[in-house]
């Protein structure tokens, strides 16, 4: 199913903001929708939040690989306004994208910068491309030296990691100048189409995770939160 990020945001808003929670989080409403959208892979989504913290890292990586064929068919989860913003706020030449997915942003930036893209489960077409370096790894354990990259970009990824504080520490460790993070503005529910673990309905929801830091900024762009942190 091909749905643009803009339409996706509208659909999520209608489901999450207009339905009472006891209806929105009802399995009798969500299960038929899961089957409609994901077919046989719908079962992967039913009890995801119940078992997410009982999986091993290997099982968690395998799950992320298993859901790729059921994912919404679009090149990137980023909205156009966020892409333009990111392009305008990159510092330096050596860039790391954590959670590069299908490689849309990494490939776009590779025309101007030296780019490395990593993800927990990379599609084969990303592994085969030659426009940027691609590597499979978890955001919590980035296999790079301290301050290896001028700008570290992490979009629509932190909501999916299990240990968000460990992931943030890892991002900050390899960042030399600027960290750019994008997460969706979304309310928490048990049944979700996107397998999010963490939710950020308000600005303070994200700032409570990042903590008080010098040189940080946060704004909503195109319906998503965009956070910048300077590494001095």
Q: Are 115 and 87 in contact, with CB atoms under 8 Å apart? A: no
Closest CA to 183 of 140, 214, 227, 146: 227
The tens place of each residue's pLDDT in the chain, 232 residues long, gives 556 677 777 888 888 889 999 999 998 888 888 888 788 888 878 888 888 999 898 888 888 887 765 555 567 889 999 999 999 999 999 999 999 999 999 999 999 999 999 999 898 999 999 999 999 999 999 999 999 999 999 999 999 999 999 999 999 999 999 999 999 999 999 988 888 999 999 999 999 999 998 889 999 999 999 999 998 7
Q: Distance between CA atoms of 136 and 117, rounded to whole angstroms? A: 9
Q: Distance between CA atoms of 97 and 118, rounded to whole angstroms? A: 6
The pLDDT value recorded for residue 83 is 96
Q: Does domain 80-230 bear CATH number 3.40.50.150?
A: yes
Q: Is 168 exposed, middle or buried (0-12, 13-18, 19+ CB in 10 A)?
A: buried
* Residue 142 CB neighbours (<10 A): 23
Domain ranges of the chain: 5-70, 80-230
Say what the pTM is: 0.91
Q: Are 113 and 95 in contact, with CB atoms under 8 Å apart? A: yes
Spell out the residues 6+ positions from residue 88 whose beta carbon is closer than 8 angstroms to its own.
Answer: none
The pLDDT value recorded for residue 69 is 58
């Amino acid at each position: 199913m091909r749905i643009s990020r803009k339409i996706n945001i509208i659909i999520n808003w209608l489901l999450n903001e207009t339905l009472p929670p006891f209806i929105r989080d009802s399995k009798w409403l969500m299960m038929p929708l899961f089957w409609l959208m994901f077919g046989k892979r719908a079962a992967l989504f039913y009890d995801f939040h119940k078992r997410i913290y009982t999986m091993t890292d290997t099982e968690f990586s395998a799950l992320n690989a298993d859901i790729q064929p059921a994912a919404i068919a679009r090149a990137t989860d980023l909205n156009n306004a966020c892409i333009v913003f990111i392009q305008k706020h990159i510092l330096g030449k050596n860039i790391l994208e954590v959670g590069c997915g299908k490689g849309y942003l990494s490939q776009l930036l590779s025309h101007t910068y030296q780019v490395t893209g990593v993800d927990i489960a990379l599609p084969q077409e990303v592994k085969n491309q030659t426009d940027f370096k691609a590597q499979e790894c978890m955001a919590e354990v980035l296999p790079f030296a301290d301050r290896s990259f001028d700008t570290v970009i992490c979009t629509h990824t932190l909501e999916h990691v299990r240990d968000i504080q460990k992931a943030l520490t890892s991002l900050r460790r390899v960042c030399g100048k600027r960290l750019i993070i994008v997460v969706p503005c979304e309310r928490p529910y048990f049944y979700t189409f996107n397998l999010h673990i963490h939710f950020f309905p308000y600005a303070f929801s994200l700032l409570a995770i990042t903590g008080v830091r010098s040189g940080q900024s946060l704004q909503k762009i195109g319906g998503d939160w965009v956070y910048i942190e300077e590494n001095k």
